[in-house]
Amino acid sequence: MLRSVLAALAAASVLAAFPALAGVGKTWTTSGTEQFAAGELDGVAVRSTGEVELAPAVEKIEGLEAELVWDAQAALDGTVYVATGSPAAVYAVRGNRAELVHKSDEKHVLSVLPLPDGSVLAGTAPQGIIYRIDRGGEAEVLVDLEDAYVWDMAIDPFNRIYCATGPEGRLLRLNRAGEVTEVLKAKQNNLMCVATDAEGTVYAGSAPDGYVYRVEHGEKATVLYDADEDEVHALVVDEAGVLYACTAQSQPPGPRGGPPQSPPGEQSAQAAVPIPSPPAAAGAPATHNSIYRIAPGEGAVLLARFDKMFLLSLCLLNGEVIGGTGTDGRLVAVRPDMTYRILTEFDAAHVTAMARDAEGDVIVGTSNAGALWRLRRDHRPDGTLISKPFDAGYLSRWGRIWWKEKLATGQSIRIKVRTGNSGEPDEHWSEWTRWANRSDGEPLDVPIARFAQFSAELSTRPITGSPLLLEVNVSYRQANRKPRIVSFTLDGEPLLEEPQGGPSSRAQPPRPPAGRRQRQAEPATRNLAWRAADPNDDELRYDLYYRGVGETDWMKVDDDIEEDTDYAWDTSRLPDGYYFLKLVARDDAARPRDEALADERITAPLLIDNRPPAVADISARRLADGTYEITGIARDEHGQITNIEVSHNAGDWAPVFPTDGIFDSLEEPFSHRTDILEPGEHVFVFAATDSRENAGSGKLVVRVEPEPE
């Protein structure tokens, strides 16, 4: 897990895309936390309840020259000291300037701790050395630890210094002389963070099991909480002694209880300790991370949970818990009622450090790129939300823009739009439109394009609060594209010469297998079915026509059919023969007449055969052995004969075969040999079935005279 968190400091997050809409008279609607938060936030915040408001003012602090900011801690005088990597250094932030205090020969300064006497401790990696830096910037080694990482340091009200280290998971206590006492050796790879309260209680967060430890009176350690995630990355305690913890898990949790894992890169006890330098390939976590509230005597409460982002730093401001995230470089503010705001975002992958200064503002440190910022307690006078580009799916005309807002006197919201034909805006996109100021709607003058984007500006006068943006709507209409009929079947058999997804083939009349088949209850009813698609998702209507082979005019079967459907076609009034069917799919119900388009498909000739076959020329001759040979012909005008059967004196049906042994013709001579017939009258009924399962029959009566005495 440690490698995952460190590696994540190099990646950028991608939030979920807006769903694309299509069709005439459609509306692109942007609302809710997820959709607003997918855009670029410049001086605006997004609430978990879905509103956009002005964010606290943010100012850049100049003077930092580092790629990674690992830690920030405030001294008693309000100066904020910052630990950096690439290069390793300690800075002091006073006002809007960061001044270099000390530059280390180590790879990283992971943690800093200002002391009451004005000196500063700096914990390093990968050597695990703690330096003491005096007021003049001179550094001396306070202690050279066995540990490789000094992840975090804290001081309690009794001036006892605590260090959270790795990769052996130790919590150490130092005195001013650099003497070390091991307070806790956890069955964890790393203690990532440490904090103290006003009573001197010490808290530490671990990886890879996500424990929060409590150490009472500097001696006995217990597990205070077992988080759902595998790494507790930062801790902060408020004035009432309530502890807040955030997590930085990269993968969904696996089974607990196994032996502690080696730290990333460590193959054996003799292997070199890895340097905490993030590889560029890391990305956003594949799971959620959380902020927990742990109150004395009340237990832990899940305060907020965020999907696919790390929570890397914590601070308290104006009654809210501020969390720094990665890999999207944002600040989230969580309120006691468990609602939250996305406060702002930085041009960096991760927000890795925060501390309050003498003015009560928050000094924020980011990594990749490394920078320092001042987060003011009051909101900005103005801010902008630039939406994620919206994909209309095809070239579209853009109509009007309107939005929902809540304003007080002195507050305003205005919005502008631009369009383009690439997924990401570039120099080939249109210019922004003029500002639209009326929330009830204004027309847009932008080029026809597939993609669009809006920019919403919120502004307010001093001491009037913030306007709220609740929803933005933009109407559009895709340029029309022709619908397409993709399938058309008759009684389950394809009718189209080029059915979708298959090779070109001319549809043939169905050829049922030989053998007895159940006759259809309504042989004149043919079952049609079709499916069509419209690239614009327009509503389609259908017209159905037929004409006989050799004819020129189409005759209507039905029109204005509103849905893809199964259609029962009554052919009882049609003469038997071959016919064409034509299906038309049109979008004129959703398009103006001059834009409407249609697709039509004409089938191969199909057979309409409602007349039964005839069974004729039935005759019998007596054979020498006393049996009879009965012959006849079954014939049909259009459908091949598929089956012949015989019933003797109303008995069970028995198969009869054509003379040539194969059912393959419109006319099939047949022969049937009886058993020896007893004297008397014998009735033979022959039934023939054609390819449409039409059945016809013929009868022969054979009279057998008794033998003379």
Structure tokens at 678: 């007893």
Report the C-alpha gap between 163 and 80 in whole angstroms. 19
Phi, psi (rounded to 5 degrees) for 523: -65, -20
Picking from 26, 49, 12, 14, the residue whose alpha carbon sits closest to that of residue 452 is 26
Does 536 map to a domain? Answer: yes
C-beta of residue 93 within 8 angstroms of C-beta of residue 499 = no
* Containing structural domain, residue 652: 614-704
671: CATH = 2.60.40.650
* 84/185 same-domain check: yes
Picking from 406, 291, 379, the residue whose alpha carbon sits closest to that of residue 339 is 291
* 585/626 same-domain check: no
pLDDT at residue 15, rounded to an integer: 29
* Residue where a domain stops, chosen among 564, 586, 608: 608
Picking from 139, 130, 84, 90, the residue whose alpha carbon sits closest to that of residue 108 is 84
* Residue where a domain stops, chosen among 582, 608, 634: 608
* 622/652 same-domain check: yes
* Residue where a domain stops, chosen among 590, 608, 626: 608
Residue 544 CA neighbour count, 13 Å, CB half: 17
Structure tokens at 582: 């034509």
C-beta of residue 458 within 8 angstroms of C-beta of residue 413 = yes
98: CATH = 2.130.10.10
Does 412 map to a domain? Answer: no
* 588/648 same-domain check: no
Structure tokens at 6: 């460190």
Does 443 map to a domain? Answer: no
pLDDT at residue 24, rounded to an integer: 54
* 56/196 same-domain check: yes
* 601/627 same-domain check: no
Picking from 547, 565, 600, 549, the residue whose alpha carbon sits closest to that of residue 557 is 547
Number of domains in the chain: 3
Does 423 map to a domain? Answer: no
Eight-class DSSP state of 87: T
pLDDT at residue 28, rounded to an integer: 97
Report the C-alpha gap between 277 and 6 in whole angstroms. 7
Percent of the chain with pLDDT over 70: 88
* 520/572 same-domain check: yes
Q: What is the DSSP string of 271-299?
A: SPPPP----TT--S-SSEEEEEEEETTTE
Lay out the sheet containing 653-656: strands in order across. Answer: 653-656, 641-648, 680-690, 695-704
- CB atoms inside a 10 Å sphere around CB 103: 17
22-48 pLDDT, tens digit per residue, is 445 799 999 999 999 999 999 999 999
pLDDT at residue 6, rounded to an integer: 37
Structure tokens at 393: 């799916």
Report the C-alpha gap between 203 and 9 in whole angstroms. 25
* 626/548 same-domain check: no
* 537/663 same-domain check: no
Structure tokens at 496: 């189209």
The verdict on pTM exceeding 0.85 is no
Structure tokens at 587: 């979008």
Picking from 265, 360, 382, the residue whose alpha carbon sits closest to that of residue 315 is 360
Does 451 map to a domain? Answer: no
pLDDT-flagged residues of the chain (< 70):
1-24, 218, 253-282, 497-523, 564, 709
Report the C-alpha gap between 188 and 190 in whole angstroms. 6
Does 422 map to a domain? Answer: no
pLDDT at residue 468, rounded to an integer: 97
* 603/674 same-domain check: no
* 369/502 same-domain check: no
588: CATH = 2.60.40.10
* 628/531 same-domain check: no
Report the C-alpha gap between 455 and 383 in whole angstroms. 10
C-beta of residue 238 within 8 angstroms of C-beta of residue 250 = no
